Amino acid sequence: MSEANVLFDAPGPRARRRNAILTAVSVAVLLGIAALVIWKLNEEEQFQGRLWSPFIEGDVWTNLILPGLWNTLRAALVGSVLALLFGAVFGLGRLSDHWWIRVPAGAVVEFFRAIPLLILIFLAFFVPPAVSPIIATGPLGTFQRMAVENFLFLFGVEINYGTVTVPAFAALVFGLTMYNGSVLAEVIRAGVLSVPRGQSEAAYAVGLRKNGVMRLILLPQAITAMMPAIVSQMVVLLKDTALGFVIAYQDLLHAGFKQVPPNFHNNLIQAAIVVAVIYIAINLALSRLATWLEQRSRRSTKSAARTLTAEGAPPAAGLGPV
């Protein structure tokens, strides 16, 4: 309460009246804008039943909307798992005492954080087919070329007679993994560094090595601090799956904007509203989960680590001597 009083002065009677007036004016303006939008939509006959009727038909949901939703959730699930693995490896790599691990890990994280996600998706989708002739005519032998082809096939990349085909799913997951994994690497690094320095010093004092300190002392507490930020980043990752639309990935957005409107009276606005409601419902559920985890972390007495935001927190302490 004392900190709140220092940072925020309680408004007096005049300030409360002014805030009430500004709130009323803002609400009136927003209601006016909403009424204007509804009036224009009605004027353009956008509330006709024939434009909304496709979304009460079972075939539209079973053949278009639900398959697109499944593809969206599938890309989000695979991207989340790979991003968490990427973030854990490179986040802990940035905490290494060995410069030959710490410096490359930091360079990889900063590189992929600096590139927009859309560009990463484009690179993954268009670059391999462009360089495939070079690989086909390169110095690799038959055995090495087959090994490369089999390795790429594990990620969905097909190579037939020197022509590389990258599925939209693989390109989308690659972009989601690299970008969100780099952000999660910073969250994990900040989470470990947010544990009070005395925790690691006490562990070193009883004879634990750095591996044991990280595994037994720092990570269990850091997970509590990192969990809300990680779930919040998963919400961002789920919304980022909509960028697969630009490479024709058959996700929820593609089903709503590319397949439904051309087949049902060009009802683009209605499709946009339905798709937006589905995205909002999913993201609200994940956001609620993140809020619950944050509240649970704040109530927990098992950890002295501070709860992080999605952007991470500034390092509060070092890891101590090795």
Domain ranges of the chain: 61-299
pLDDT of residue 202: 87
pLDDT of residue 15: 87
Name the phi and psi angles at 159, rounded to 5: -125, 115
Q: Is 100 exposed, middle or buried (0-12, 13-18, 19+ CB in 10 A)?
A: exposed
Per the rule left: phi > 0, alpha: psi between -120 and 50, beta: everything else, 251 is: beta
- Secondary structure class of 163 (helix, strand, coil): strand
What's the pTM?
0.79
Q: Is the pLDDT of residue 135 over 90?
A: no
Distance CA(187)–CA(185), nearest Å, equals 5
Q: Work out the mean pLDDT of the chain and round it to a whole number.
A: 82
Q: Which two tokens stand for residue 37?
A: 């939008």
pLDDT of residue 143: 65
Please compute the mean of the pLDDT values over residues 123-137 and round it to a whole number.
73
Q: Which of 44-53, 85-94, 108-117 has the lowest mean pLDDT?
A: 44-53
Highest mean pLDDT pick, 35-49, 110-124, 295-309: 110-124
Quote the Cα angle for 209-214-220, to 5°.
140
Q: Is the pLDDT of residue 258 over 90?
A: no
Residue 91's nearest CA partner among 177, 183, 174, 173 is 183
Please compute the mean of the pLDDT values over residues 261-285 and round it to a whole number.
87
Q: At 3, is the pLDDT very low, low, confident or very high (cuts 50, 70, 90)?
A: very low
CATH topology of domain 61-299: MetI-like fold (1.10.3720)
Q: At 49, is the pLDDT very low, low, confident or very high (cuts 50, 70, 90)?
A: confident
Specify the higher pLDDT residue, 69 or 268. 69
Q: At 173, is the pLDDT very low, low, confident or very high (cuts 50, 70, 90)?
A: very high
Distance CA(287)–CA(281), nearest Å, equals 10
pLDDT of residue 103: 95
Q: Are 72 and 241 in contact (CB under 8 A)?
A: yes
Residue the block writes with tokens 């419902």: 281
Q: Which two tokens stand for residue 51?
A: 């434009």
Q: Is the pLDDT of residue 137 over 70?
A: no
Q: Is the pLDDT of residue 166 over 50?
A: yes
263, amino acid identity:
N
pLDDT of residue 162: 57
Q: At 232, is the pLDDT very low, low, confident or very high (cuts 50, 70, 90)?
A: confident
Which helix (H) or strand (E) segment is 182 a member of? helix 168-193
Please compute the mean of the pLDDT values over residues 169-191 and round it to a whole number.
94
Q: What percent of the chain has pLDDT over 90?
A: 39
Q: Is the pLDDT of residue 197 over 90?
A: no
Q: Which two tokens stand for residue 122?
A: 């484009």
How many CA atoms lie less than 13 Å away from 189 in the CB half-sphere? 23
Specify the higher pLDDT residue, 146 or 255. 255
pLDDT of residue 159: 63
pLDDT of residue 297: 64
Q: At 141, is the pLDDT very low, low, confident or very high (cuts 50, 70, 90)?
A: low
